[in-house]
């Protein structure tokens, strides 16, 4: 699998051994061009910055919203190229990262009402896709199929070249290592610090201590929590807790990020900070699929929008708005 978050040079450490400054790989060798999880090539095209086609969005910075870490003096990271406004040009050809072919999902508790019915879609490496729809339309079910938390009852799902219907249960953890997940309710461990919560994600998959010590501080700096590594979740605002969960999802540098209402518990100003962070992660090549009810955010970001109604795809629109689901 392509590892587009490689870091080669590190400078300095504090007395806990944490890396203080990480210099980006001068020449990242992204080799798996035909890998379904390969990052999208970076384009020279103008990126649709939030609000670019709309009246400029008012961004209220609150005390609890951390400043954009990449705009801080001296910040360097493997993610630093994200500071540019160039958006990745997503080539929707080749091998999709996610492919649904006529997928249905019927929960045993509701045998006569499929949660998903005849869903076909392809999502390519580097895309940012919003999934919208009324409550109960099937958004979370669709995401749970991608991570194999649910199995389709009909059709075929391919993720990263693997047929999830044929995948043995023992292989599922390997699939999930390639998928970062962010949920509305953060799912942080309350008795672990910010650092430990993120480190735990790497320790669980057997990463060596040296990797943990290098990657955890870096990703926490990326999300603007470099100063709060030793805090516990209950000492953080909701926005900060969600940043920890984004850091935890990203620390293993997965090529695919699946987010289920990541801003659902956050006020608009804090949500914007989270969305900018996810946008930046996407511009580094990570494919992002996000279920959301956040109309304003979808309208301002102008990404691909897949709208569901009663388990059916009723709209799949490039640079779409939230709309009224089926309608543009």
Ligand X SMILES: Nc1ncnc2c1ncn2[C@@H]1O[C@H](COP(=O)(O)OP(=O)(O)OP(=O)(O)O)[C@@H](O)[C@H]1O
Q: Which is nearer to ligand X, 59 or 113 (CB)?
A: 113
Q: Which is nearer to ligand X, 7 or 184 (CB)?
A: 184
The span from the CA of 225 to the CA of 73, in Å, is 15
Contact (CB, 8 A) for 248 and 197: yes
The span from the CA of 258 to the CA of 181, in Å, is 5
The DSSP letter of residue 80 is G
Smallest separation, CB 325 to ligand X (Å): 11
Smallest separation, CB 270 to ligand X (Å): 20
Q: Which is nearer to ligand X, 49 or 172 (CB)?
A: 172
Smallest separation, CB 296 to ligand X (Å): 17
Cite the DSSP H helix spans in the chain.
139-146, 172-177, 194-203, 209-222, 238-250, 268-283, 295-301
- Beta-carbon contacts of 81 under 8 Å, excluding residues fewer than 6 positions away, are 24, 42, 283, 284
Q: Which is nearer to ligand X, 22 or 307 (CB)?
A: 307
The DSSP letter of residue 54 is S
The DSSP letter of residue 192 is S
Smallest separation, CB 189 to ligand X (Å): 24
Smallest separation, CB 94 to ligand X (Å): 29
Q: Which is nearer to ligand X, 202 or 290 (CB)?
A: 290
Footprint of ligand X (CB under 6 A) = 107, 109-110, 115, 133, 135-141
Q: Which is nearer to ligand X, 132 or 212 (CB)?
A: 132
Smallest separation, CB 138 to ligand X (Å): 4
Contact (CB, 8 A) for 57 and 300: yes
């Amino acid at each position: 699998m392509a590892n587009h978050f490689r870091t080669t040079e590190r400078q300095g450490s504090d007395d806990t051994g944490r890396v203080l400054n990480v210099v980006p790989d001068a020449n990242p060798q992204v080799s798996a061009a035909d890998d379904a999880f390969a990052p999208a090539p970076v384009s020279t095209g103008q990126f649709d910055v939030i609000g670019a086609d709309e009246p400029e969005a008012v961004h209220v910075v609150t005390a609890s919203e951390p400043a954009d870490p990449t705009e801080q003096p001296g910040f360097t990271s493997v993610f630093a190229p994200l500071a540019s406004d160039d958006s990745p040009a997503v080539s929707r050809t080749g091998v999709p990262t996610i492919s649904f072919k006529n997928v249905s999902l019927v929960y045993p508790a509701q045998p006569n009402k499929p949660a998903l019915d005849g869903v076909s879609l392809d999502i390519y490496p580097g895309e940012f896709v919003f999934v919208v729809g009324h409550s109960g339309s099937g958004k979370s079910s669709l995401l749970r199929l991608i991570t194999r938390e649910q199995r389709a009852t009909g059709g075929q799902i391919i993720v990263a070249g693997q047929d999830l219907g044929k995948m043995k249960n023992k292989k599922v953890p390997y699939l999930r290592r390639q998928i970062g997940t962010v949920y509305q309710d953060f799912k942080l461990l309350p008795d672990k610090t910010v650092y430990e919560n993120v480190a735990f994600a790497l320790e669980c998959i057997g990463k060596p201590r040296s990797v943990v010590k290098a990657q955890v501080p870096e990703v926490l700096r990326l999300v603007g929590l470099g100063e709060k590594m030793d805090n516990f979740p209950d000492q953080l605002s909701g926005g900060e807790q969600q940043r920890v969960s984004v850091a935890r999802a990203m620390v293993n540098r997965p090529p695919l990020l699946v987010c289920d209402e990541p801003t659902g518990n956050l006020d608009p100003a804090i949500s914007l900070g989270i969305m900018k962070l996810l946008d930046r992660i996407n511009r580094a090549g990570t494919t992002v699929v996000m279920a959301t009810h956040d109309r304003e955010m979808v309208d301002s970001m102008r990404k691909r929008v897949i709208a569901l109604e009663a388990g059916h795809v009723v709209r799949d629109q490039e640079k779409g708005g939230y709309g009224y689901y089926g309608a543009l």
